[in-house]
Amino acid sequence: MTDTPDQPKFSISTRCVHAGEERKKAYHSLIDPIVPTSTYMFEDYDDIMRFTSDKNQGNPTARLDYGRYGNPTTRAVERRLAALEGGQDALLFSSGMAAVTTTLLSFLKAGDHFVYTDDIYRKTREFSRDFLSRYGVESSVVPVGDATAMKDAIRANTRLIVSEIPTNPYLRVPDLDELVAVARRHKLLTLVDSTFATPVNLRPLEHGVDLVVHSGTKYIGGHHDLLSGVVIGGKALVDPIREHANLMGPVADPFNAYLLLRGLKTLALRVRHQNDAALKMAQYLSRQPLVEEVYYPGLESHPDHKAAARQMSGFGGVVSFTLRADLRGTAQFLDRLKIPFITPSLGGAESLVNQPALLSYYSISAEDRAALGIKDNLVRYALGFEDAGDLIADLQTAFDWLEKQG
């Protein structure tokens, strides 16, 4: 099967299984083999000359010589993810943050400025604000969905706009067409973290976004058993990132790449189940008197519901909500849940629940958390593969306990 970005004639389920693959594999294997090698050998002088000639001509099919520069198993994942997102090329990393940081370092230098939206992943914000500033790169943060604020933040030295879709933890959904229009007007690159959406629910490149990143640790891997990241886009943009990655070494492991290929085959099935279960949970939570507010783009009450409905084929597997309880009461509510595990992360078979004030933001003061919009009573629930009815019944038991507390 040949499935290229300009010929997406197969459904997303079929592409998750076959997109970008080489039909003929080593040893007539049905599955792409794991190639656990750190280096590659040459047969003779002529083989070396062919290799160096291909490299000098920029031949993307040139054979490999060293593990830091690529691996057949990771290349198989890159081809599939590029095809799923509709990109020309993809680059696999050892983690989602490695994908984000290497991409930013590839396009920003001392004296440059970039803009990012609030409610973004905490570590991306910290890298942007605290690390890059040490090397003369400035940044500005603007509210999600505020096109006027974004325009006002752009300077003569602005190079890049960074956002997430949906955002973490309030699941805001920026209007990508509007974001891209602003960027193009000012000749800026756009980088969107689409981890929460996955290629099943949204493909930002189809809206004109330049580069998409994913934490493959989450839905793409899908089983809480690996770390990885990927950046996807046009070859002219991915190539310089690859050069930086070759230099800095955030190398993807071939065994993790194999697990990613395995996970990708069920991505559409998993995400659709999580979409359906999360919507049912959000609707249930919206009727609970002990819930202050539910944050889920599939609900009409969500501020970005119209944008989400226009851009996304599903609303994702994460639901955030606030309880009518304080910090301790919220923690005790989570203690009553029997199915989800209390831990950060998302996207795998097991449902995970997280009180951001105590886990993701434990190292900062209550005042600083409040300034970032992280409420003490905020809960982020990442649904796994369990039955929605079971998860809701489990929540109801915890609500019954909370109601008794008065």
Could you list the active site residues?
68, 121, 193, 218
Query: What sign does the CA torsion over 267, 258, 84, 354 have?
Result: positive
Task: Please state, in angstroms and as integers, the Cα–Cα distance from residue 78 to each residue in 89, 287, 346, following that order.
Answer: 7, 43, 22
- Nearest residue to 291 (alpha-carbon basis) of 318, 320, 323, 326: 323
- Nearest residue to 303 (alpha-carbon basis) of 292, 294, 312: 294
Strand residues in 118-155 grouped as ranges (E): 138-142
- Nearest residue to 33 (alpha-carbon basis) of 64, 76, 66: 76
- List the structure tokens of 372: 């970032």
CA dihedral 41, 43, 48, 50 (to 10 degrees): -120
Q: Are strands 318-323 and 291-295 parallel, antiparallel or unpaired?
A: antiparallel
Other CB atoms within 10 Å distance of the CB of residue 337: 18
Q: How many CA atoms lie within 13 A of 139 on its CB side?
A: 26
